[in-house]
Amino acid sequence: MKNSIRNILIDNLNIGDKIIYNDEPFIVIKNEFIKSGKGLSFNRIRIKNIISNKILDKVFKSKDNIKKAYIIEKSCFFLYRVKNIFFFISCEDESHIKIDINLIKNKYIFIFKKINYKLIFLNKIFINIIIPKIINFKVINIICVNNNYVLSDLGNNLMIKSPLFIKSGDIIRVNIEKKEYISKVKNNL
């Protein structure tokens, strides 16, 4: 897709623009113009890798060019899994999308039905899945109990330390980034 990547002046970058830097997709989170007294003006930009979430601070000459990327985010629900292939349905156009587990990497343990995910595409090629920061899960089983907590099995080999009052069948709210129990949900999903 020839028109999907084009050059843009560093001066013209806005927060939220998606760019290609070192052959990887980034989102601009800060662009600061610096006019020095004696030398050329420059821009100090902060960018976040769309795949790894790593943040970089870089300095460019104001008149430098960088590649602006054509990135699409699709809101999708997980449908089912067949071996190592995950099937999603797009909320926008109801198209079906299949993604190999190797592309999802270790995030597969957070993929369940009834949860809205963002699938990220660069030039129509899947590059990442964005998992919601907080998800409600049904406790499938209690694996072990000790004096301080129970180990709750949520499926997909996802285990979370929960308070002693949590039982199989309960719905719990989990912070995905920290893999931590937040609270018990009163109503079922």
Which CATH number characterizes residue 35's domain?
Answer: 2.30.30.30
The number of folded domains in the chain is: 3
Q: Rg of the chain's alpha carbons, rounded to an integer?
A: 21
Final residue in a domain of this structure, among 102, 117, 132: 132
- Any idea which residue has 């460019």 for tokens? 60
Q: What is the pLDDT of residues 168-183, one digit of tens each?
A: 999 999 999 899 999 9
Interior angle at CA 7, CA 51 and CA 125, nearest 5? 35
Containing domain of residue 164, as a range?
135-185
65 and 76: one domain? no
The confidence score (pLDDT) of residue 187 equals 67
- 95 or 7: which leads in pLDDT: 95
**Single residue among 107, 132, 157 that ends a domain in this structure:** 132
User: What was the pLDDT predicted at 156?
Assistant: 82
Shared-domain flag, residues 142 and 126: no
Least confident of 77-81, 110-114, 127-131, 142-146: 142-146
Q: Does residue 4 register a pLDDT over 70?
A: no
Total-model pTM: 0.74
Same structural domain for residues 126 and 111?
yes
**Residue 106 maps to which CATH number?**
2.40.50.140
